[in-house]
C-alpha cells in the first residue's frame, strides 16, 4: 500500500473514537520515519492541544518543492488531498476548505496550538489554522517569526498569530507548560502536557552540547517520570551514526577562519539565518579576519530586525531576486541599520569579503569574482544537506565553478549517544521516537512505541478504539 493510500482518505475527518471521560488520546500526524512535519494531537473529552504543525522537509517535500509551483489559495486543500495535512475537524481555516468538507465542522472543545520553535518543519502550516484557535510559542519564537515575515519570508496562508507563552497555559482540562531547550534557533522549547490521567512530555528539537546543554539538561530533569516521552531522533537517521565529540561554536568559527586564511580571494559561506547567534558570531569573526560579511537582502533585513549589529548587504549594482530586493527595501524603509556594498568594491578587493550565497538563486554565483579552488563554507545553511532536493543542483554549480566545499557545521540536534542517555534515564512510562528516519534505532530499558499515522494511543502507549 502506498504512503498516501495508507493514511486517512483525502479530505475526510481522520481518527476514530474520541477519548472517554478522564482519558487522554494521543495521535501522531507527522514526523513518522521522516525528519520534520511534526504534529501531535493530545485530546481529552474536554480539550484538544496540538503540538507543532510542521511541513515535510527533505524527501517528504518533493510534492510541493523544487520546480513545483503552489496553486494560490489551494495550498491547504491540495495538501489534504495528498495527505500532507491531517484531516482533523475544526483545525483548519474554514475559508480555505471546500464548502462540502467535513473538516469545516467545529469541535466544541477548546483547542490550542503550541509551537516548539520557528523552523518550518515545526511551524510551517500555522498560517493555515483556523484563526479562532489560539497559537502559543515562546517570546523569542514570536519575535523571530515576525522578523521573518517582515523580511519577506511568507508562510502558507496568513502570518501565524502567535502569542507569547510565559510558562503555562490552561486549555480545558489540559495544562501545557513550556520549558526552554537548547537547539540552533532562539526560543526553542519543549512542552509538558499535564492531563487528568498522566503527563506527556515533548522535546521539540533539542541537543545537549550547545552551551553545555544547560537548558536541555534542565528539561530532562523536569520531564523525568512522564507517562509518555515524545523525543526527536534526527541524528539516528544517518549512516554511519556520528560518534565522537560534537563541534562547538568556537570550532565552527575556527574551521571557517582557516578556510578564509587559505584563500587570498573571495570566500563563500552558507549559514542558516535563523541561527541568529551563529550569524552574529560570524560577522564579528569575519571582521577579525579582515573580511566583511555580506548577506542577501532579505537575510540582512531579518538579521537587522533581530537586533544583529554590523549587517551588510548588496547595493543595487548586484542583481538579486525579488525576495531579496524587497527585504532590503523593507529594512531601509523601517530605518534599520543595514550597510550596503557594491559588486565593484568586492571585485577590487575580493579577499576582504565573505559572502553568504542565496541557495534559491544559484546562477547568481556567476556575478561574483570567485576563483577556482575558493571555499564554500557549509555551516548548516541552505541547502542543508543531501536529504534536501536542492542539494544536488547546488553541488553541480559548485563543481562547475571549481569551488571546494568546507564542512564547518555543528548540528542543532542531539547525538545518538546523548539521545540514548536521555531516554535511558528519563524514567518515562513509554518513549515515542519521532522526527527521524530510523526511530527503531533508539534503545532504552523500557517500552518504546513506534506509532502509526493517525492512530489513537493512551498515555501508556496502548491503542485506543480497538
Domain spans, the chain: 25-239+412-441, 249-407
For residue 66, the model assigns a pLDDT of 66
**Strand stretches in 351-451, DSSP E:** 353-356, 375-379, 404-407, 430-434
Q: Distance (Å, rounded) from C-alpha 156 to C-alpha 106?
A: 22
| Check whether domain 249-407 has CATH 3.40.640.10, yes or no | no
Give the pLDDT confidence of 134-183 residue by residue, as tens digits.
Answer: 999 999 999 999 999 999 998 999 999 999 998 899 999 999 999 999 99
For residue 10, the model assigns a pLDDT of 39
Q: Distance (Å, rounded) from C-alpha 296 to C-alpha 356?
A: 7
The architecture in CATH of the region 25-239+412-441 reads 4-Layer Sandwich (3.60)
Q: How far is CA 386 from CA 59, 389, 421, in A?
A: 10, 8, 28
Which is nearest to 206 in space by CA: 240, 229, 225? 229
Q: Report whether 227 contacts 198 (CB < 8 A).
A: yes
Q: Report whether 234 contacts 435 (CB < 8 A).
A: yes
Omega before 46 within 30 of 0, i.e. cis = no
241 DSSP 8-state letter: P
For residue 167, the model assigns a pLDDT of 85
Torsion of CA 321, 324, 326, 328, to 10 degrees: -140
Q: Distance (Å, rounded) from C-alpha 238 to C-alpha 387?
A: 10
Q: Cell 490521567 sits at which residue?
A: 197
CA atoms within 13 A on the CB side of 270: 24
pLDDT band at 48 (very low <50, low <70, confident <90, very high): very high
Share of the chain above pLDDT 90, in %: 84
**Strand stretches in 7-157, DSSP E:** 25-28, 40-43, 48-51, 111-114, 134-137
For residue 466, the model assigns a pLDDT of 59
Q: How far is CA 216 from CA 85, 186, 203, in A?
A: 30, 14, 9
Please count the other Cβ atoms lying within 10 Å of the Cβ belonging to residue 392.
10
The end-to-end CA distance of the chain, in Å, is: 22
Q: Is the dihedral of CA 280, 282, 288, 294 positive or negative?
A: negative
For residue 390, the model assigns a pLDDT of 85
Note the helical H segments in 204-355.
214-222, 249-262, 276-288, 297-305, 322-333, 343-348
* Grid coordinates of 396: 553541480
Q: Distance (Å, rounded) from C-alpha 81 to C-alpha 9?
A: 8
Across the chain, mean pLDDT equals: 92
Give the pLDDT confidence of 24-38 residue by residue, as tens digits.
Answer: 999 999 999 999 999
Q: Distance (Å, rounded) from C-alpha 52 to C-alpha 121?
A: 9
Mean pLDDT is highest, among 55-64, 307-316, 381-390, for: 307-316
Q: Distance (Å, rounded) from C-alpha 33 to C-alpha 311?
A: 39
Q: How far is CA 117 from CA 138, 144, 145, 187, in A?
A: 8, 9, 9, 6
For residue 430, the model assigns a pLDDT of 98
Q: Distance (Å, rounded) from C-alpha 128 to C-alpha 95?
A: 10
For residue 2, the model assigns a pLDDT of 28
Which is nearest to 192 in space by CA: 204, 203, 201? 201
Give the pLDDT confidence of 241-257 residue by residue, as tens digits.
Answer: 777 789 999 999 999 99
Please count the other Cβ atoms lying within 10 Å of the Cβ belonging to residue 141.
27
For residue 7, the model assigns a pLDDT of 37
Q: Phi, psi at residue 362, to the nearest 5°?
A: -60, -40
Amino acid at each position: 500500500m502506498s504512503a498516501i493510500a495508507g493514511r486517512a482518505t483525502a479530505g475526510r475527518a481522520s481518527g476514530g473514537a474520541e477519548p472517554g471521560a478522564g482519558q487522554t488520546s494521543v495521535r501522531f500526524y507527522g514526523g513518522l520515519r521522516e525528519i520534520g512535519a511534526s504534529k501531535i494531537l493530545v485530546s481529552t473529552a474536554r480539550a484538544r492541544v496540538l503540538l507543532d504543525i510542521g511541513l515535510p522537509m527533505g524527501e517528504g517535500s518533493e510534492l510541493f518543492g523544487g520546480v513545483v509551483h503552489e496553486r494560490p489559495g489551494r495550498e491547504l486543500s491540495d495538501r489534504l488531498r495528498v495527505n500532507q495535512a491531517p484531516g482533523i475537524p475544526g483545525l483548519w481555516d474554514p475559508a480555505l476548505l471546500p464548502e462540502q468538507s467535513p473538516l469545516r465542522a467545529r469541535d466544541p472543545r477548546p483547542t490550542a496550538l503550541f509551537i516548539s520553535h520557528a523552523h518550518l518543519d515545526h511551524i510551517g502550516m500555522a498560517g493555515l489554522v483556523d484563526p479562532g484557535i489560539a497559537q502559543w510559542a515562546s517570546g523569542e519564537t514570536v519575535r523571530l517569526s515576525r522578523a521573518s515575515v517582515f523580511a519577506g519570508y511568507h508562510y502558507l496562508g496568513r502570518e501565524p498569530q502567535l502569542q507569547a507563552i510565559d510558562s503555562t497555559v490552561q486549555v480545558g482540562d489540559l495544562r501545557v507548560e513550556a520549558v526552554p531547550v537548547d537547539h540552533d534557533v532562539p526560543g526553542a522549547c519543549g512542552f509538558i502536557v499535564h492531563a487528568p490521567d498522566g503527563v506527556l512530555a515533548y522535546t521539540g528539537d533539542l541537543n545537549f552540547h550547545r552551551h553545555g546543554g544547560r537548558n536541555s539538561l534542565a528539561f530532562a530533569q523536569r520531564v523525568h517520570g512522564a507517562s509518555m516521552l515524545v523525543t526527536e531522533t534526527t541524528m539516528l537517521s544517518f549512516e554511519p551514526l556520528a560518534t565522537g565529540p560534537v563541534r562547538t561554536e568556537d570550532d565552527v568559527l575556527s574551521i571557517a577562519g582557516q578556510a578564509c586564511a587559505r584563500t587570498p580571494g573571495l570566500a563563500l559561506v552558507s549559514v542558516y539565518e535563523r541561527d541568529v547567534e551563529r550569524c552574529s558570531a560570524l560577522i564579528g569573526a569575519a571582521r577579525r579576519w579582515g573580511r566583511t560579511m555580506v548577506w542577501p537582502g532579505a537575510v540582512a533585513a531579518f538579521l537587522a530586525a533581530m537586533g544583529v549589529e554590523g549587517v551588510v548587504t548588496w547595493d543595487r549594482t548586484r542583481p538579486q531576486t525579488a525576495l531579496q530586493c524587497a527585504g532590503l527595501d523593507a529594512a531601509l524603509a523601517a530605518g534599520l541599520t543595514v550597510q550596503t556594498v557594491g559588486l565593484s568594491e568586492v571585485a577590487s578587493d575580493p579577499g576582504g569579503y565573505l559572502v553568504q550565497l542565496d541557495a534559491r538563486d544559484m546562477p547568481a554565483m556567476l556575478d561574483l569574482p570567485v576563483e577556482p579552488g575558493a571555499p564554500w563554507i557549509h555551516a548548516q545553511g541552505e541547502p542543508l544537506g543531501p536529504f534536501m532536493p536542492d542539494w544536488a543542483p547546488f553541488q553541480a554549480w559548485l563543481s562547475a565553478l571549481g569551488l571546494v566545499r568546507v564542512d564547518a557545521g555543528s548540528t542543532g540536534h542531539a547525538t545518538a549517544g546523548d539521545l540514548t542517555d536521555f531516554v535511558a534515564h528519563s524514567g518515562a512510562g513509554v518513549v515515542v521516537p519521532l522526527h527521524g528516519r530510523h526511530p527503531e534505532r533508539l534503545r532504552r530499558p523500557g517500552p518504546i512505541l513506534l506509532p502509526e499515522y493517525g492512530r489513537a494511543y493512551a498515555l501508556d502507549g496502548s491503542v485506543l478504539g480497538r
